[in-house]
Amino acid sequence: MGETFDLLVIGGGINGCGIARDAGGRGLKVGLVEMNDIASATSASSTKLFHGGLRYLEYFEFRLVRESLIERETLLKAMPHISWPMRFVLPYHHSMRFDNSTPTSKLLSVFMPWMKGRRPAWLIRLGLFLYDHLGGREVLPGTTSVALRDTVEGGPLKAKFEKAFEYSDCWVEDSRLVVLNARDAEARGAQIMTRQKVVSADVVDGIWQVVVQDGATGAQEVKTARMVVNAAGPWVGDVLRGTLKSNEQGGVRLVRGSHIVTKRLFEHDKCYFFQGTDGRIIFAIPYETDFTLIGTTDADHADASVKPECTPEERDYLIRFINEYLEATISAEDVVWSYSGVRPLYDDGADSASAATRDYVLKVDKSRGAPALNVFGGKITTYRRLAESALDEIGEALDGVNAPWTAGVALPGGDFPVDGVGALVRDLQATFAFLDERWALRLVRAYGTEAQEMLAGAKSVDALGQDFGATLSEREVIWLIEKEFARRAEDIVWRRSKLGLRMSAEQIMALDEWMQARLSAAAAE
């Protein structure tokens, strides 16, 4: 049965890994159980942004926006390899319309009915003023106005868009953020158990007895814990009532967000924020150097057990949406990849998926005789604050919980200045002359200062071992297996990286076969 954990976390997404990291650093003995790979669901399928949520201001979610805006810069300083500032261009024209679904639009329709659903420039300016000042910016530049005619920002857009507002938010490599939190949790004493599914949980003499089943062998083992954390994401309701057998009230609203990826649609490195006539917004974001990421949709998703996929209807919706703005239109043939994730939002009874709150709700349940914390909702930008709030709740249920510590503490590889990526790339090329700039940049963006450690001693490309394609070497794969919990090719090419965009199906299959052979040999030793 093994030693009893203080805390057993169910779920290896960003909230589960963030809580495990924080708790491990506060002196608790932590176990984390994930039924698949780290970040295998929602946390690898976001729009890849650390942002305050400009549109949430229309729903008067000022606390959430303020917390998110403050966190952008806190997190940017802690992970400058996987997160960086980005400027967002919001085109505006006088005929822009939106529906009357938000509290702000409903007020405008009552007090200023002549606007007939139009979002006026002054309202956008007000929202951006609040966005600039709610979070106390230190690093990111503020909002400016942009004349689009004869500019690089206006070049890809239809001529009717003559003016834009430009503001700041941040990019983040979402699935790498999760795995780095898991790594740091492990470094602080947490036991990370991937491909292990919780099948039942009971309380005996005030201690949780949690049965965990190995996904490969089917073998079962009992883990004991003083407290459990249900951070199962889309499955939080299933775990709450099916596994923990709780009568705790509170539900989850599953909302599917789909994205498409095309070849690069514009040459500059800024993102577009586009508004639709239906009240929705989408982003068009520079992605992986040669591509553009477009998303997201908001659609209710009935069943967490059904794998989310970008439907043809969602794909076509995103294409129609962006074609309202771009001079050179795109079609389904231009889509090179699509992905979809299910966001487990707290069910606040909102009329639509778009209007459902993105805030988080934490509920402690002691009805079974031992405490359980259930995590509803949340967004990737506020994961660290969610973890701190979770530890506040955990501290009331358990003794021996130390003070908060994560603010400003670097994740693995992130111990360098926000503007230090260029210097790291140059240093890496100076040490390993066989790297070209693009390859070196990819490694720095993935591993930060640890890229030097990963390549240590290599004098040539041959020293890195087998070449799996797209600059993925045997040396890097071994690192990902030994340090980042990777077990299948998809873990590497779609979550630890996005090299799947550049690798053939045959290359990915060969990588998977090599990994399985290596893992089997290691298990036999």
pLDDT in tens, 36-74: 999 999 999 999 998 887 777 776 778 888 888 889 889
414 occurs within a structural domain: no
Question: What domain range is 380 assigned to?
Answer: 5-43+175-251+357-397
Are 431 and 512 within one domain?
yes
Count structural domains, the chain.
3
Considering the domain boundaries, does residue 14 fall inside one?
Answer: yes
Q: Between 327 and 93, whose confidence is greater?
A: 327
Q: Is 63 a member of any domain?
A: no
pLDDT tens-digit profile of 409-434?
999 999 999 999 999 999 999 999 99
- Which contiguous run of DSSP H or E holds residue 192? strand 191-194
Give the range among 126-130, 388-392, 440-444 with minimum mean pLDDT. 126-130
Higher-confidence position of 117 and 330? 330
Q: Is residue 200 part of a domain?
A: yes
Tell me, yes or no, whether 222 and 365 share the same domain. Answer: yes
CATH code for the domain in which residue 105 is found: 3.30.9.10
pLDDT at 7: 98
Instruction: Looking at the structure, tell me whether residues 520 and 389 fall in a common domain.
Output: no
Same domain, 334 and 481: no
Q: In a 3-state reduction of DSSP, which class is residue 213?
A: strand
Indicate if 182 and 210 belong to the same structural domain.
yes
Bridge partners (DSSP) of residue 257 are 341
In a domain, 88, yes or no: yes
Range of lowest pLDDT (113-122, 249-258, 336-345) = 113-122
Report CA-CA distances (Å) from 471 to 24, 310, 460, 497. Answer: 35, 29, 13, 11
Instruction: Inform me whether the pLDDT recorded for 367 exceeds 80.
Output: yes
Residue 200's pLDDT is 96
Domain match, 247 and 260 both: no
pLDDT of residue 112 exceeding 90: no
pLDDT on residue 68: 86
pLDDT of residue 273: 94
- Angle (CA) 42 46 48, round 5°: 140
**Residue 9 belongs to a domain:** yes
Give the residue-averaged pLDDT of 146-171.
94
Do 468 and 446 share a structural domain?
Answer: yes
Q: CATH code at 481?
A: 1.10.8.870
- What is the reported pLDDT for 355? 60
Q: Which of 314, 346, 378 is the last residue of a domain?
A: 346
Please indicate, yes or no, whether residues 477 and 519 belong to a single structural domain of this protein: yes
Q: Domain check: are 154 and 181 in the same one?
A: no
Pairing of strands 5-10, 220-230: parallel
Asked if residue 485 lies in contact with residue 182, where contact means CB atoms within 8 angstroms, the answer is yes
User: Is residue 163 located within the same domain as residue 257?
Assistant: yes
Q: 210, 225 in Cβ contact below 8 A?
A: yes
| Same domain (yes/no): 512, 427 | yes
- Report pTM: 0.93
The span from the CA of 525 to the CA of 511, in Å, is: 22
Q: What is the b/e burial string over 311-329, where b = at least 16 CB atoms within 10 angstroms of the residue's CB?
A: eeebbebbbebbeebbeee
Q: Do 456 and 471 share a domain, yes or no? A: yes
DSSP 313-371: HHHHHHHHHHHTTBSS---GGGEEEEEEEEEEEE----SSTTTS---EEEEEE-TTSS-
Q: How confident is the model at residue 348 (pLDDT cuts 50, 70, 90)?
A: low
Q: Please tell me the predicted confidence (pLDDT) of residue 92.
A: 86
What's the average model confidence in pLDDT over 280-295?
Answer: 95
Residue 128 included in any domain: yes
pLDDT of residue 119: 60
Is 408 inside a domain boundary?
A: no
As a whole number, the mean pLDDT across the chain is: 91
Domain boundary pick from 319, 346, 373: 346
d(C-alpha 436, C-alpha 104), whole Å: 51
pLDDT of res. 106: 47
Confidence of residue 307 (pLDDT cuts 50, 70, 90): very high
